[in-house]
Amino acid sequence: MKTIIKKIIKVLSFLIIFCVLCLIIFKVLWLEKTEYSYTVYDEPKNSSDVVYIGSSVSFYHFNSLLAYNEYGFTTTFMSSGTQPFPAVKYLLKEATNYQTPKVYIIDISRLPKDFSQIRVQDIRRCTDKMKFSQNRIDAINKCLSYHEEIEKDKYIEYYFSFLIYHNRWKKLNNLDFSKNEDYYKGFKFNKRTDSYPHEKYNWPEEITEMPEEKRESLEDLINYIKQSNLNVIFVIPHTLYEESELQCLVNASYIIEQNGLKVINFDKLEDFNLDYSSDFLDKYHLNVDGASKYTLYFSKYLMNNYKLSNHKGDSFYESWDKEYLKFKKDYKKVMEKDFEEQVNIYKEQMNY
Amino acid sequence: MSLTSLVFALFCIITIGLYFIVNKKIQWVILLIASLIFLFFDGFNPLNIVKFLLVLVPTYFCGILIEKNKGTQRAKLYLAIGVMLIVGQLFYFKYTNLLVNTINHILGWFKCEYVINTVQRSPLLGISYFSLIMISYLVDIYNGICKPQKNPFKCALFMTYFPILTSGPFIRYNEIENDLYGKHKFNFSRFCNGLIRVLWGLFKVLVISARCGIFVDTVYGNVRMYNGSFIIIAAILFPIQLYTNFSGSIDIIMGISEILGINLPENFTAPFFSTTLTEFWRNWHITLGGWLRDYIFYPILKSNFIQNLTAKLKKKFSKKTSKKITLYLSMLIMWTIIGIWHGGNYTFIIGSGLLQFLFMFLEDILGPVAKKINKKLGINEDTFSYRLYQRIRTFLLFAFAMIFFRATSVEDALITIRGMFRWNPWIFFDNVTLYVAGLDMQDFRILIISIIVLFIVDSLSRTGSVREKLSKQNIIFRWTILYLLIFGIIVFGCYGSGYDPVAFIYGGF
């Protein structure tokens, strides 16, 4: 009997150590942290006032800490780089299981992209961080349904992600071993400056016929929003669009508005003084200063239109205050200027 | 079903679980069901059942009839029928094209324009293995070494025992009968030992073999572009790829069988530590060597033709020389058969048959001369450095023969050999060129470290079981080694979308 107990203890100990090591190694080797922001899962259940769903522009453009500091509302993300639009409905569904925000923001910048050109890594970045559920399976299948090139026998890799990520050992850097160093409640802080290739786009005035798969995907999402009675704002962010994509976005805006939902085209707005020569980190994303301008404008709009709660001073939201202080400190270190002073300058420029 | 796939792992877990849960009397039934699922899993085709019965039915009945008519001419007749049917279907499915190509070549010599078309056949998984296993079964019954299996389902299990279907080893009925149909209790230490062996096999296949394969496939896939040092590295890596792939899959098979309580014969004993090619082949694919020795080589030596030839030669040469000549002739026949068994292609016949024979023949002829020269030059053969030289020489001879084995045609093999002599050593120093053939610097580092680990383990295995040695160490050391092995496979293994699926080289034979 003693030997059996001894053996059981040994096996259990071996397995426990194995599981701990697995967790550590899997976490280190997981998807690069710069490629996604899924803070919907990280924050306490039903604690979020705004949920932002979209591609990388969402977590590069919207500084959730600045919005919190200004108005006290909390924003969480369900965003990943080059997020496939067909997955948005499932991400929205997923978000409703964890948060009950007053408003959801959905970035539609990926809608004009060719669905059949959705890459494996786009689907992986979007679905790998989702919790295992039927909804995740549906999201994967939906994205794969447009994609003829993905071999069907590789479906298994979407459910056992380590089959892919173990190979990332060659690309490991100090960030992979750090513990939430760049967390900032989902916002990605980037100081790089690159010139933006466009000033303003010439947005078409006419409404034309939308490609069927895009219209169906958008209508499917709108139907879900209406059935679930959710408050949603669709946004067309500042990013690089091809001429042909502008028409698609105009058509989409029309369909959205026809269904009684709100859509904001930020490229058409003049109100927040974006400097095209210094506020972008590359041709797709705003840098930290551009993000401040965008956030100031958008958070004010949200506050005014959705009566969001101010949680400042509430001990339950203490982590937001701490994270903001950390961000402010890091900003000063990296940018060599004071964040709040900088924000005040932007406010003056914007007649805030 | 690949031995390194998740599906196979799941399949084994279910099989092992059921095997130890069910009544011990029907454990063999679980194995039979699992084996049939394994056999027919890949692209189920009802025709495969016919192919399967085509071997099972004649073997089963011939076995019983041989036993019934023991000591009579009829037993010989039934043996001949059984063997011919097995060889016939093996030839039909695997070697028709070799015959067609040979005839086309001969027709070509006579400038005949008529060309026979090659045919596409899809042989049953493991056909080369179970065909030879069933031949040995019939011959052993004939020789009185074993009794025939009266239960056709048990006979089917012997033929299709799933772990050995892809890569062997060759089993003999009398050696495995008790284990295969016996009752087995779950044994914890056997389970752990089996699992360690499976892990070691996975390490060899996924970390070493698959990584070597990336480089080797790139170079051999375009021998007109890669030359010089690239070919030399590929030629050195291919035997390592072959060894780790083959012995690794054997380790997985042996480990699973060990868990089930079925002991299989060893197939490799550190072949790269052999000092001669003869010794090498005693340590490489041991069960195939044993099978060929017992069922081909000795029967040839004892055949009337060889006996008569020896007698005739004795009149012209000395007794020793005439015996040597017939021995070499028998060896030549056996090595040709080994080459043919590996596949219906001249590259296999040359690489794994004729060249191996030629090198062994030269070793035998020149060995005494070399000994004399060494003695005169005062070279001490009983030193580490001399043994190291012999090992490197053996490895290089084997590696050279394997150029033919790996090449897609004899012409490609010759181009590869020619390309080897192009001078481009700078690929090792310019920090770029070496890494264009599929493996980057990190991959090379992992590969070199893994090969060193492989050689250390193989070296340790020469003086006893490595697992036994490990079990005598302290728990911290033991567990550290195991975790390193497990996470070495998980992290550095070449699997998933980043890599091509791990193909089992010997699965094709």
Q: Which residues contact A113 (CB under 8 A, 6 or more apart)?
A: A85, A245
Q: Does B378 touch chain A (CB under 8 A)?
A: no
Could you read off the pLDDT of B248-306 as tens digits, one per residue?
999 999 999 999 999 999 999 999 999 999 999 999 999 988 998 898 888 888 888 88
A241: tokens are: 């669009």
Report the alpha-carbon angle A143-A189-A89, nearest 5. 25
Single-letter amino acid code for the residue at B254: M
Which residues of chain B does A166 touch, with a Cβ-Cβ cutoff of 8 Å?
490-493, 495-496
* pTM listed for this prediction: 0.79
User: Residue-wise over B498-509: b if at least 16 C-beta within 10 A, else e?
Assistant: ebeebebbbbeb
pLDDT, residue B500, reads: 45
Pairwise CB contact (< 8 Å): A21 & B483: yes
State the Cα–Cα distance between residues A189 and A205, nearest whole angstrom: 36
Q: Mutating which of B491, B492, B495 best tests the A interface, going by the most A Cβ atoms within 10 A?
A: B491
B421: tokens are: 């002599």
User: Residue-wise over B227-264: b if at least 16 C-beta within 10 A, else e?
Assistant: bbbbbbbbbbbbbbbbbbbbbbbbbbbbbbbbbbbbeb
Instruction: Determine the distance in angstroms separating the CA of B434 from the nearest CA of chain A, rounded to an integer.
Output: 17
A150: pLDDT confidence band, cut at 50, 70 and 90? low
Residue B473 C-beta-side C-alpha neighbours within 13 Å: 13
Output phi, psi for B196, to 5 deg.
-60, -40
Asked if pLDDT for residue A106 goes beyond 60, the answer is yes
Asked if pLDDT for residue A30 goes beyond 90, the answer is no
Q: Chain B residue closest to A29 (CA)?
A: B491
What's the order of all strands across the beta sheet hosting A36-37? Answer: A36-37, A75-80, A50-54, A103-107, A232-236, A262-265
Instruction: Determine the distance in angstroms separating the CA of A4 from the nearest CA of chain B, rounded to an integer.
Output: 10
Which residues of chain A does B477 touch, with a Cβ-Cβ cutoff of 8 Å?
none
Q: Mutating which of B440, B446, B490 best tests the A interface, going by the most A Cβ atoms within 10 A?
A: B490
First to last CA, chain B: 16
Q: Chain A residue closest to B440 (CA)?
A: A170
C-alpha torsion sign, points B214, B218, B221, B227: negative
pLDDT, residue B508, reads: 45
Share above pLDDT 70 across residues of chain A, in percent, rounded to a whole number: 93
Which residues of chain A does B443 touch, with a Cβ-Cβ cutoff of 8 Å?
170
Nearest to A166 among B188, B442, B496 (CB): B496
Domains and CATH numbers, chain A: 36-148+181-349 (3.40.50.1110)
- What average pLDDT does this structure show over A344-349? 89
- What average pLDDT does this structure show over A179-193? 78
Q: Domain coordinates of chain B in residue numbers?
A: 6-186, 274-408
Asked if pLDDT for residue A326 goes beyond 70, the answer is yes
| β pairing state of A36-37 and A75-80 | antiparallel
Instruction: Determine the distance in angstroms separating the CA of B83 from the nearest CA of chain A, rounded to an integer.
Output: 40
Nearest to B497 among A25, A157, A169 (CB): A157
pLDDT, residue A32, reads: 67
Q: Does A172 touch chain B (CB under 8 A)?
A: no
A252: tokens are: 């989409």
A198: pLDDT confidence band, cut at 50, 70 and 90? low
State the Cα–Cα distance between residues B179 and B509, nearest whole angstrom: 26
Nearest to A25 among B442, B487, B495 (CB): B487
Nearest to A166 among B188, B442, B490 (CB): B490
Region of A226 (left: φ > 0; alpha: ψ -120 to 50; beta: rest) is: alpha
Pairwise CB contact (< 8 Å): B440 & A25: no
Q: Mutating which of A158, A167, A171, A172 best tests the B interface, going by the most B Cβ atoms within 10 A?
A: A167
Instruction: Determine the distance in angstroms separating the CA of A20 from the nearest CA of chain B, rounded to an integer.
Output: 12
Check residue B352 and report its DSSP letter: I
This model of the complex carries an ipTM of 0.76
Check residue B421 and report its DSSP letter: T
- Which CA distances in Å does B206 have to A66, A180, B8, B213, B486? 49, 33, 15, 10, 12
A322: tokens are: 């701490």
pLDDT, residue A98, reads: 94
Give SS3 for B472: coil
Point out the least confidently predicted range of A170-184, A206-220, A318-332, B363-377: A170-184
Pairwise CB contact (< 8 Å): B499 & A169: no
- When computed from its CA atoms, the radius of gyration of chain A, rounded to whole angstroms, is 22
| β pairing state of A262-265 and A75-80 | unpaired
β-partners of residue A232 are A104
Output phi, psi for A7, to 5 deg.
-65, -45
Nearest to A166 among B479, B482, B493 (CB): B493
A75: pLDDT confidence band, cut at 50, 70 and 90? very high
Residue ranges with strand state E in B205-356 = none
C-alpha torsion sign, points B311, B313, B314, B318: negative
A154: pLDDT confidence band, cut at 50, 70 and 90? low
State the Cα–Cα distance between residues A140 and A144, nearest whole angstrom: 6
Residue B331 C-beta-side C-alpha neighbours within 13 Å: 18
State the Cα–Cα distance between residues A57 and A79, nearest whole angstrom: 9
pLDDT under 70 in chain B at which residues? 42-44, 344, 497-509
Say how far residue B26 (Cα) sits from the centre of its chain. Answer: 31
Chain B contacts in chain A segment 22-51 (CB below 8 A): 25, 29
- Alpha helix positions (H), B317-409: 319-342, 346-349, 355-377, 384-406
Asked if pLDDT for residue A90 goes beyond 80, the answer is yes
Q: Does B43 touch chain A (CB under 8 A)?
A: no
B302 burial (CB, 10 Å; 0-12 / 13-18 / 19+) is exposed
Instruction: Determine the distance in angstroms separating the CA of A218 from the nearest CA of chain B, rounded to an integer.
Output: 31
Q: Does B440 touch chain A (CB under 8 A)?
A: yes
Q: Does B483 touch chain A (CB under 8 A)?
A: yes
B67, B146 Cβ separation under 8 angstroms: no
DSSP tally for chain A: helices H, then strands E = 15, 6
| β pairing state of A103-107 and A75-80 | unpaired
Single-letter amino acid code for the residue at A292: S
B434, B448 Cβ separation under 8 angstroms: no
Share above pLDDT 90 across residues of chain A, in percent, rounded to a whole number: 52
Q: Chain A residue closest to B495 (CA)?
A: A163
Single out the residue of A31, A27, A78 nearest to residue A52, CA to CA.
A78
A186, A80 Cβ separation under 8 angstroms: no
Helix axes B475-492, B441-461, angle to 10 degrees: 140
